[in-house]
Structure 1
């Protein structure tokens, strides 16, 4: 452990603190991804439970349009009544398959009395940057099957006359207040599935929501792995620093790794020079004492 005493220096303590902060950040992001996955899985469970069930009569679902239970989302509701097309609104910024467009909202006066909002589908953006001609809903008495949806929150942007920035039913109700004779239900709206009689033209129908939970779980595992890698990297750096501290001077052969104790670091033998004839003659003269 003596080789690792440098770990208690301010510099290395600072690196350790950074690794801890990085791990905390990665753990936070990992748990955030797990929370998002939990929300997605819960939404998928709701779709699988409610989407394909038999339609319930409006009398059983009327309370949902006043105060919505999210566990009932996507439940199909059977209702009979009349569309009120003069109060139609289109909702802005609704791309579909990469194409810009709108969604079409129409109030629907049920035979039971309450007025609810029906989202009749998607409409492609017109060439002039506005909504294309909105297909009229069926006139007269209509049988509708539509799925319960939670209204959207208000957004911080406006919309031109006849449009909504989001499916905020409170804003919608305020725009048509007093024009329908009956208050608009603002607890929920319904996405159209079927209507009879069917009109000659209608907006693009909604498809079943995706049941793919997405990459949240794999992203969470990646963030947790990144947090651990910070300590792995710090440990590797400390090991390298300890080796450098131990082998920083190469004078002592014991400090040189075995694989480096040959070749360039091995002491070279003295270079021998060839004796010339003059060298030999001088040596004989010296031996005889003549020099």
Structure 2
């Protein structure tokens, strides 16, 4: 009766090492997907807590416009001041729901003397002149009360823009185009304003809180890692079964196992050419065929 001693051979040790390396790689990929999911879940929690929270006064969040704490993103803040429409800018290449367009940025000079940037919304591409919106709605003049959500600035893009436009919401670059200083640590994405303008850009939709498929991908990678050992175990079981079949065949024909199919041939096709019940006696023809096979005929 054959046992699993063959597992201690160098060949099977190599098979096990390959299965182990594959399983470790699958676990690492699963952990990577779980890490990504944890980041997404944390961001969803932040959005859920801040996006619809009660607006806070500017005084309590003034420092966030210098250096925005990521945990404060989407927090609503109440601002009072006057729009400086002469320094308005249009941001290029801003798709919304798959449609190309622009965003409108306007400096808001607060009653406290500081100036921050307000993103007033989205505009579709124009039909009259390529690269420009047809109409840019203007805010009301005079003092307005604005509720906006805190958003971080964007990195600078190495591409140009026509006069009156910028390539991204890079507040430092925006500041370099103005004759006065502005807050460059954050800007406000408008929620509402009072008094409201007769016409406004299209408001932004709420950010997505879909966590995606990271969890299912992580579970799939873990399953793949487990299947590596399942496959190894199945191959070992097949090897033992074939070894037992070889011993039985050798005992019935008198031909040494090594001469029947070659040592270590775990899945030789001739092993499966004929299937007999265990204990059945070999016929003379089968014995003769086995001898001829062992001699290479």
TM range, smaller chain: 0.7 to 0.9
Asked whether the equivalents of residues 123 and 131 of structure 1 are also in contact (C-alpha less than 8 Å), the reply is no
Asked whether the equivalents of residues 81 and 141 of structure 1 are also in contact (C-alpha less than 8 Å), the reply is yes
SS at the partner of 1:260? Answer: coil
2:60 corresponds to which residue?
Answer: 60
1:260 corresponds to which residue?
Answer: 276
For these two proteins, the number of residue pairs brought into alignment is 262
2: CA distance, partners of 1:11 / 1:96: 58
Query: Is residue 238 of structure 1 aligned with residue 240 of structure 2?
Result: no
Which consecutive unaligned segments of at least 5 residues does structure 2 have? 258-270, 286-297
1:221 corresponds to which residue?
Answer: 219
1:96 corresponds to which residue?
Answer: 96
When the two structures are superposed, what TM-score results if normalisation uses the length of structure 1? 0.79
Residues 242 and 206 (structure 1), Cα distance of their counterparts in 2 relative to 1, 3 Å cut: same
SS at the partner of 1:247? Answer: helix
Query: Is residue 149 of structure 1 aligned with residue 131 of structure 2?
Result: no
Asked whether the equivalents of residues 30 and 220 of structure 1 are also in contact (C-alpha less than 8 Å), the reply is yes
1: CA distance, partners of 2:96 / 2:114: 31
When the two structures are superposed, what TM-score results if normalisation uses the length of structure 2? 0.77
SS at the partner of 1:120? Answer: strand
2: CA distance, partners of 1:217 / 1:234: 26
Q: Cα RMSD over matched residues?
A: 2.9
- Taking the TM superposition and a 5 Å limit, the aligned residue runs for 1:164-243 are 164-174=166-176, 176-177=177-178, 179=179, 181=180, 183-243=181-241
Which consecutive unaligned segments of at least 5 residues does structure 1 have? 270-291
Asked whether the equivalents of residues 2 and 240 of structure 2 are also in contact (C-alpha less than 8 Å), the reply is no
SS at the partner of 1:185? Answer: coil
1:120 corresponds to which residue?
Answer: 120
2:107 corresponds to which residue?
Answer: 107
2: CA distance, partners of 1:10 / 1:171: 64
Q: Give 1:141 deviation, angstroms.
A: 2.0
Residues 68 and 243 (structure 1), Cα distance of their counterparts in 2 relative to 1, 3 Å cut: same
1: CA distance, partners of 2:168 / 2:229: 46
Residues 52 and 2 (structure 1), Cα distance of their counterparts in 2 relative to 1, 3 Å cut: same
SS at the partner of 2:4? Answer: helix
SS at the partner of 2:49? Answer: helix
Look at both structures and tell me which one has the larger radius of gyration over its CA atoms. Answer: 1
1: CA distance, partners of 2:113 / 2:96: 34
Asked whether the equivalents of residues 56 and 76 of structure 2 are also in contact (C-alpha less than 8 Å), the reply is yes
2:289 corresponds to which residue?
Answer: none
1:4 corresponds to which residue?
Answer: 4
Which 4+ runs in 1 deviate beyond 4 A? 253-257
Q: Deviations over 1:131-161 (max 9, x none)?
A: 3132222222221110111223344x32313
2: CA distance, partners of 1:87 / 1:150: 20
Q: Give 1:203 deviation, angstroms.
A: 1.5
